[in-house]
């Protein structure tokens, strides 16, 4: 396996969150370079790199950037998504605590490329301790003339403001995030019928994940080919994959796309803990359909491979489960999460999440029968493709994968006595 550190290259340097140390190791060099290149060239570099969003959807950055840049309104905004609430996902916190200047550098480059001057970092409320580290870095950057009226002495203003969330998973969805930033409940907006940017107080706005933005300095400095040197044709570059659950060494380890999943789990995670056998892996955060051990053994960490297995790469946060896990309990745990987090706008989601949660609870109490498993799949069908955002369809995918792949376990649970 090829070791590579693009976003994580300063993570292990003591004091890397401070400006002096970060600068000693190359921080803000890409900004100088970008000003020499000009905004159009920066955008082109990002397009040529093939960079895809790391917030869960994997949308190419290029198209979104163009939509914001090319909109006729001269006032544009950048919103950086650090809501990080997808269970199994904890990579953005590594960036904002270990290398916040990398994020600030990426923000400057992105603003410059699309013509924005005001950037907001929306941070989940629970990350208050981490928020202080990022704020410390922002303050340092202002004091050093890196942020503010002039960026490193050039005629370009960039202001960065942290906006603290208050505990709502749905605010990670990009339009809900902007509603929340506008001072409202975090309700996702209806999707437009054609491609357009996001909107913040009626102004064209770009929303990107922290890791996506933190990848920009490398692309600008080293060039798009250097990024494409890693990964696959359709999934270029690297990602901060995460391991949690039953592995010996949980954590965040950067790897190139296309890395075999089991090789990654063995190499970085040290394999399954306590000499147990693997049972299942949720590949990219709780909302991606679970893989059986056999599927995991054939999976590669890239968009194509996950898709061919009927799952998706999501945030790259793997939740590893050994043979001791009761899959009915695991599904129940996740459904309680979704029931709590549905924003409540759409009936199939608001009612459906409560209903499926209750059915699985009754399976665990042995108060259900086989017909209830089919009802679970029926409700799952109703939740798929009929709602404002993809929250409900994701829950549907989670239910289908658990119940279809581990049906025998659900049926055994029904037959057993408490």
Partner 1 sequence: MGFAFTEENLEELEALAKRYPSKEALMLPALWKVMEQDGYVSMDAIDVVADYLGVPPMKVYGVVTFYTMFHLEPVGTYHIQLCRTLSCSLCGKGEILQYLRNKLGIDVGETTPDGKFTLSQVECLGSCGTAPVMQINDTLYENLTPEKVDEILEGLK
Ligand X SMILES: Cc1cc2nc3c(=O)[nH]c(=O)nc-3n(C[C@H](O)[C@H](O)[C@H](O)COP(=O)(O)O)c2cc1C
**Minimum distance between the CB of residue 174 and partner 1, rounded to whole angstroms?**
17
User: Three-state SS across 171-213?
Assistant: HHCHHHHHHHHCCCCCCCCCCCCCCCCEEECCEEEEEEEHHHH
Q: Which residues, numbered 194-253, are part of the site for ligand X (CB under 6 A)?
A: 207-209, 212
- Of the residues 344, 365, 367, 370, which one makes contact with ligand SF4 according to CB under 6 A: 344
Task: Name the residue among 100, 109, 108 with its Cα closest to residue 139.
Answer: 100
Binding residues for partner 1, rule CB under 8 A, total: 59
Task: Name the residue among 64, 111, 84, 77 with its Cα closest to residue 216.
Answer: 111
* CB closer to ligand SF4, 270 vs 344: 344
Contact track, ligand X, 345-384, x by CB under 6 A: ----------------------------------------
181 is an interface residue for ligand SF4 by CB under 6 A: no
User: Three-state SS across 31-75?
Assistant: HHHHHHHCHHHHHHHHHHHCCECCCCCCCEHHHHHHHHHCCCCCC
168 is an interface residue for ligand SF4 by CB under 6 A: no
**Minimum distance between the CB of residue 343 and ligand SF4, rounded to whole angstroms?**
3
188 is an interface residue for ligand SF4 by CB under 6 A: yes
Q: Which residues, numbered 111-140, are part of the site for partner 1 (CB under 8 A)?
A: 118, 124-129
Q: Say which entry of ligand SF4, ligand X, partner 1, none residue 59 contacts (CB below 5 to 8 A, set by partner kind).
A: ligand X
165 is an interface residue for partner 1 by CB under 8 A: yes
39 is an interface residue for partner 1 by CB under 8 A: no
* CB closer to ligand X, 131 vs 212: 212
* CB closer to ligand SF4, 146 vs 388: 388
Alpha-carbon dihedral 347, 350, 355, 360, rounded to 10 degrees: 140
Task: Name the residue among 162, 33, 7 with its Cα closest to residue 109.
Answer: 33
Q: Say which entry of partner 1, ligand X, ligand SF4, none residue 275 contacts (CB below 5 to 8 A, set by partner kind).
A: none
Binding residues for ligand SF4, rule CB under 6 A, total: 14
170 is an interface residue for ligand X by CB under 6 A: yes
Q: Distance (Å, rounded) from C-alpha 92 to C-alpha 84?
A: 7
366 is an interface residue for partner 1 by CB under 8 A: no
Contact track, ligand SF4, 389-408, x by CB under 6 A: x-xx----------------
Q: Which two tokens stand for residue 51?
A: 């960079």
Instruction: Pick the stretch among 149-157, 341-349, 373-381, 410-418 that binds ligand SF4 (CB under 6 A).
Output: 341-349
Task: Name the residue among 61, 19, 30 with its Cα closest to residue 43.
Answer: 61
Q: Which residues contact 202 (CB under 8 A, 6 or more apart)?
A: none
Distances (CA, A) of 14 to 98, 99, 140, 171: 9, 11, 17, 33
Q: Which two tokens stand for residue 334?
A: 């996740």
In terms of phi and psi (left: phi > 0; alpha: psi -120 to 50; beta: otherwise), the region of 261 is alpha
- Of the residues 16, 65, 86, 291, which one makes contact with ligand X according to CB under 6 A: 86
Q: In what order do the strands lie in the sheet with 317-322?
A: 251-256, 238-245, 317-322, 278-282, 291-292
Q: Say which entry of ligand SF4, partner 1, ligand X, none residue 201 contacts (CB below 5 to 8 A, set by partner kind).
A: partner 1
**Minimum distance between the CB of residue 275 and ligand X, rounded to whole angstroms?**
35
**Is 238 strand, coil or helix?**
strand
**Is 300 strand, coil or helix?**
strand
Under the rule (CB under 8 A), what is the footprint of partner 1?
75, 77, 84-90, 92-93, 118, 124-129, 159, 161, 163-169, 180-186, 200-201, 203, 242-246, 250-252, 282, 286, 317, 319, 321, 325, 330, 333-334, 336-337, 340-341, 343
């Amino acid at each position: 396996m090829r070791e590579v550190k693009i976003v994580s290259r300063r993570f292990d340097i003591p004091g890397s969150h401070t400006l002096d140390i970060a600068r000693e190791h190359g921080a803000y060099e890409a900004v100088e370079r970008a000003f020499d290149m000009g905004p159009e060239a920066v955008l082109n570099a990002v397009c040529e790199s093939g960079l895809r969003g790391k917030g869960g959807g994997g949308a190419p950055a290029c198209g979104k950037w163009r939509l914001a840049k090319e909109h006729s309104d001269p006032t544009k905004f950048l919103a950086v998504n650090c809501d990080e609430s997808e269970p199994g996902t904890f990579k953005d916190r590594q960036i904002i605590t270990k290398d916040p200047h990398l994020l600030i550098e990426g923000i400057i480059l992105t603003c410059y490329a699309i013509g924005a001057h005001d950037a907001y970092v929306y941070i989940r409320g629970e990350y208050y301790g981490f928020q202080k580290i990022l704020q410390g870095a922002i303050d340092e950057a202002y004091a050093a003339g890196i942020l503010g009226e002039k960026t490193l002495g050039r005629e370009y203003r960039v202001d960065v403001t942290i906006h603290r969330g208050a505990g709502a998973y749905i605010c990670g969805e990009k339009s809900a995030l902007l509603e929340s930033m506008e001072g409202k409940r975090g309700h996702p907006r209806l999707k437009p019928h054609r491609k357009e940017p996001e909107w913040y107080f009626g102004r064209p706005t770009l929303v990107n994940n922290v890791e996506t933005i933190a990848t920009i300095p490398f692309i600008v400095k080293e060039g798009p080919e250097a990024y494409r040197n890693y990964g696959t044709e359709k999934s270029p570059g690297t990602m901060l994959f995460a391991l949690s659950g039953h592995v010996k060494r949980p954590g965040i380890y950067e790897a190139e796309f296309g890395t075999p999943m089991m090789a990654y789990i063995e190499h970085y995670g040290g394999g399954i803990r306590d000499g147990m056998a693997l049972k299942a892996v949720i590949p990219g955060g709780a909302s991606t359909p679970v893989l059986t051990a056999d599927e995991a053994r054939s999976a590669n960490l890239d968009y194509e491979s996950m898709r061919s297995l009927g799952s998706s790469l999501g945030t790259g946060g793997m939740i590893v489960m050994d043979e001791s896990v009761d899959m009915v309990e695991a599904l129940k745990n996740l459904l309680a999460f979704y029931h709590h987090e549905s924003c409540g706008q759409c009936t199939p989601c608001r009612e459906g999440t409560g209903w499926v949660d209750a059915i699985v609870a009754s399976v665990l109490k042995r108060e259900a029968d086989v017909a209830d498993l089919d009802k679970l799949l029926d409700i799952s069908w109703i939740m798929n493709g009929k709602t404002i955002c993809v929250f409900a369809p994701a829950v549907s995918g989670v239910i289908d994968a658990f119940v279809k792949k581990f049906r025998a376990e659900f049926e055994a649970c029904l037959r057993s006595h408490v």
